[in-house]
Structure 1
Amino acid sequence: MGSTGFFESGKPVLLHYDGTRWSKVAVPGVGAARAGLKDVVAGPGGQLWAVGEIQAPDKSWKALALHYNGRKWTEVPLPNGTGRLGSVTVSRGEPVVLEEKTEETSAALRYTGRKWVSMKLPADGAEPLAASAVSASGRTVDVVGYRPATGSQYVGPGAVLTARR
């Protein structure tokens, strides 16, 4: 898998490179809706995970998580009310995604194969975390982001969080 994003029509694009050429791959669960993919990651055994958002019939946006098992792509249901997903990684064979709850607050979710579980990002006092990327290596998961600005600051202090699983 090589690229994610929007077509001019508002449809997501999945491209696969076989070592010689690129080919377009069908995106499941999208139908006629506008949607976009923000991130894609490879997991063990040729599995892939892609995350983004899809526009609901009422024109609101909801989270979109897709899984490739080595043969086909499927949409993975998310808990009701899940915000937009912007980043995905794989830790110990399980995907970990970043959810944008608001412009200035984020959450991390881990998929167990049956359900999504919150990883409970810590708050720094009363300051929430606006996370922008998640990465994993072995049992370690890292989240990068910033604390929202206060007063006249444009962007608050940066933050890197590390958790062992």
Structure 2
Amino acid sequence: MRRLAAVLGVVACVFTGSSITAEAQPAAVQAASQWTVTPTGRQPANLDDIDSRAGETWAVGGDQVDGFQDQRPLALRWDGKRWKATAQPVDTNATLQSVAVAGAKNVWAVGEDRADPATPKPLVMHWNGTRWRVVPGPSVPTGSFGSVAIGPNGAVWAAGWANVGGQEHAVVYRYSGGSWQPLTTGLEGSINGNTLAVISAKDAWLGLNGGLAHFDGKRWTLVDDVPADGSQIPTGIAVAGPKNIWLVGVEHVAQDRPLVLHYDGVSWTRVPAPTGWSQLYDVALRDNRPIAVGERFEESGNRVFAKPYVLEYRGSKFVEAPSPDAAYGTLTGAAAADGRLWTAGLTSTTPDAEFSAFTAFAR
């Protein structure tokens, strides 16, 4: 849910209203500036997430229809030269918000089915190498999935929110043996699960609206290092190892600014980053070096415009890096595999133009 909300916020901004030198830069820093835009051919449309593994790269989001009142699920597959849209089993109002690639015949995507807008339901789909099929989600009166992850043992985990026992709160479910196992203990007072990382069955992290929770195999426990009052909203997480984890998002102050935290196995600490009006949505590790993507805001008269934004870690802090060539828009997803750093989101050529689903990569 968090990526879709972010995208819709960017659309509202766009339609209503330090460069880095090459000297002594690490290879990963230089690479991030050499972006190649890969046209998707989808307009109006947005992408909420991208994932890549073992030669498989997928991006998911939604096509806008009916004057932006409805969406249809959109899943694009990279064939090595261009993006190809795949046939969807859902033709009602729905969108995909997160994708996880395990292999050429094992891709999972989750989102929200709004066939009845008053009672949205979690949407889960699986790609078997030939086609997508809908996997029945947990039996809940209403809810939405905004993050999907595949554990080391191949189990699929999904996070978001749902009505459980008459109360709406953050949820995590694990799919195994054809059924969904609720892993919600400890989340009863939380609002929404934004971003999920699974290290093992007894070690997982969940970014919330707001706060951060850790799973020990039995229950989720909020960590004290991230306030749960909504002032800090984690939206993206990347794991290099159990004692090397990066978390990005937004801190709500007078003007929103990037949030970057690092976990060393003991505690989460704040990492310095630019403080301009901006926010981050996702982070990927390239050679274990974090690169975060999001949006920065500019004002002109009484209008506010969002523009793609990239930060990368250099030394002990995050610095602004060149963004893909796009006039307006936001970057909502990032992934790194097979020598490429991918990003996805939505862009437009002018503030009043229809937005397009956007992707780019850096070698």
TM-score (norm 2): 0.38
Larger Cα Rg: Structure 1 or Structure 2? 2
AA aligned to 1:91 is R
Equivalent position of 1:17 in the other structure: 215
Structure 1 residues 70 and 38: CA distance shift in structure 2, 3 A:
same
Does residue 141 (structure 1) correspond to residue 341 (structure 2)? The answer is yes
Summarize deviations over 1:28-76 as a string: whole Å, max 9, x none.
5x597822111222124531111112223xx332211110011211000
Q: Distance in 2 between matches of 1:106 and 1:13?
A: 25
Task: Choose the corresponding residue for 2:325, options 123, 128, 137.
Answer: 123
SS in 2 for 1:63: strand
- Where relative contact order (Cα < 8 A, 6+ residues apart) is larger, the structure is 2
SS in 2 for 1:147: strand
Equivalent position of 2:90 in the other structure: none
Structure 1 residues 25 and 115: CA distance shift in structure 2, 3 A:
closer
Assess if the C-alpha contact under 8 Å between 2:262 and 2:271 holds in 1: yes
Equivalent position of 2:278 in the other structure: 83
AA aligned to 2:232 is A
Q: Distance in 1 between matches of 2:311 and 2:349?
A: 25
Q: Quote the offset at 1:142 in angstroms.
A: 0.2
Equivalent position of 2:315 in the other structure: 113
Does residue 40 (structure 1) correspond to residue 237 (structure 2)? The answer is yes
Summarize deviations over 1:109-141 as a string: whole Å, max 9, x none.
1102323243312315xx345211111125321
Show the 5 A alignment for 1:56-75.
56=253, 59-75=254-270
Runs of 4+ in 1 over 6 A off after TM superposition: none
AA aligned to 2:315 is G
AA aligned to 1:143 is T
AA aligned to 1:77 is P
Unaligned runs of 5+ in 1: 7-11
Structure 1 residues 114 and 138: CA distance shift in structure 2, 3 A:
farther
Equivalent position of 2:205 in the other structure: 2
Q: Tell me how many residue pairs correspond in the alignment.
A: 153
Q: Quote the offset at 1:163 in angstroms.
A: 0.6
Equivalent position of 1:9 in the other structure: none
TM-align CA RMSD: 2.6
Q: Distance in 2 between matches of 1:163 and 1:106?
A: 15
Assess if the C-alpha contact under 8 Å between 2:332 and 2:345 holds in 1: yes
TM-score (norm 1): 0.77
Assess if the C-alpha contact under 8 Å between 2:213 and 2:220 holds in 1: yes
Q: Distance in 1 between matches of 2:323 and 2:248?
A: 19
AA aligned to 1:162 is F
Q: Quote the offset at 1:89 in angstroms.
A: 1.4
Q: Quote the offset at 1:27 in angstroms.
A: 2.4
